[in-house]
Amino acid sequence: MKSSVVRRDPEILSATPVFAGTRVPVRNFLDCLEGGYTIDEFLEDFPTVKKEQVLAFLEETKADLELAVPT
């Protein structure tokens, strides 16, 4: 996945995928969703992440999934 909203940099959290421009791992967002958080609740807890980034991540992930699953 070539993402505009997720970055992996060895200088940031040992190359853990994070939302671009932040040190917030994408895994935190997924864990919050799994735990029943809403997107708005996640954004309250991680104010450096923008709602547009979260929505773009979901759209990119959806598109990747559609390409990855064979018909």
Query: If you ran DSSP here, which 8-state letter would residue 25 be given?
Result: B
Give tens-digit pLDDT for 10-46.
999 999 999 999 999 999 999 999 999 999 999 999 9
Which range of residues forms the domain containing residue 44?
Answer: 6-65
- Residues 6-36 as b/e (b if ≥16 CB within 10 A, e otherwise) read bbeeeeeeeebbbbbebebbbebbeebeeee
CATH at residue 14? 1.10.10.10
Q: Is residue 11 part of a domain?
A: yes
pLDDT in tens, 44-60: 999 999 999 999 999 99
The pTM score is: 0.86
CA distances 16 to 5, 6, 41, 56, 67, Å, are 13, 10, 22, 19, 24
